[in-house]
Amino acid sequence: MPDPLVSVIVPAYNAERFLGEAIESVLAQTYAPVETIVIDDGSTDRTAEVARGYDGVEVIGQENAGPAIARNRGFEASRGEMVTFHDADDTMMPGKLQAQIDCLLADPGVGIVMGEQEVFVEPGTELPFWAGGSTGAVAVPTRPAVPTEEPPVHAMTMLMRREVFELVGPFDPATCPAEDIDWALRSVEAGIGTVKLSQLLLRRRVHPESLTQDAAASRNGLFRAFKARIERQRDRSA
């Protein structure tokens, strides 16, 4: 059997400063075949031009609608049996996809494979509220502790079977910028088998333009995500 196609979906908004590095980290993967889809979310800079500078990268433009809708648009355009989402300011470790594919193919009961991430904070940038504190080292290790109700799933390390995304459903823009947490909670509720590898798979960048820099919006997004979960639980018990 041929190796399954992996679709890498990259939402990008005014990301010309980082996008090339993000794409190159996808193209440098030890696994193949891979299709790379960049969703230009109404950028006003050279984001689309940067993406089109790489052979084989598909670029889809849309009016600015936020990362949740951009990711959903990318999934609709994708063809892969396996799917992952990658932020335009992050970089994949070279063996990320291979390690995750190996895990998925070894166990049909696993639908999602996660891994460790390193958070890189650009000098002079405030640490996001979930990292704790307001100043600190340039690099911090894997994601710090989060509320106990949150599953050990982070959307930007996640690789899943296509049918898993179809079952759980699209990202909900109403919970932005915590749409990844909302999606993860729904995947747990759906009973999706999830494995987290003790392997560094992603280097996550925090910079002044990061959505996580807006602490109030991030907390509001988390509130809406957990509120939606409570409402779903009430509906199931009614």
* Structural domain spans, the chain: 6-237
- Determine the Cα–Cα distance for residues 170 and 9; give it in Å rounded to an integer: 13
pLDDT value for 139 = 37
Query: How does pLDDT run along the chain (238 residues), one tens digit per residue?
Result: 789 999 999 999 999 999 999 999 999 999 999 999 999 999 999 999 999 999 999 999 999 999 999 999 999 999 999 999 999 999 999 999 999 999 999 999 999 999 988 877 766 666 665 555 433 333 333 444 444 444 444 667 999 999 999 999 999 999 887 888 899 889 989 999 999 998 999 998 876 566 555 556 666 777 787 788 888 888 888 7
pLDDT value for 126 = 65
pLDDT value for 41 = 97
pLDDT, tens digit, 9 for 90 and up, residues 153-184: 466 799 999 999 999 999 999 988 788 889 98
Does domain 6-237 correspond to CATH entry 3.90.550.10? Answer: yes
Q: Note whether 196 and 114 are within 8 A (CB).
A: yes
- Determine the Cα–Cα distance for residues 227 and 238; give it in Å rounded to an integer: 16
Apex 92 CA angle, 89 and 93, nearest 5: 140
pLDDT value for 134 = 37
Nearest-Å Rg of the Cα atoms of the chain is 17
Q: Is 194 helix (H, G, I), strand (E, B) or coil?
A: strand
Residue 53: C-alpha distances to residues 19, 38, 112, 197 (Å): 11, 12, 31, 33
- Determine the Cα–Cα distance for residues 237 and 45; give it in Å rounded to an integer: 49
Q: Note whether 229 and 148 are within 8 A (CB).
A: no
What pTM was computed for the model?
A: 0.84
Cα 215 to chain center, whole Å?
A: 19
- Determine the Cα–Cα distance for residues 46 and 166; give it in Å rounded to an integer: 32
Q: How many CA atoms lie within 13 A of 129 on its CB side?
A: 12
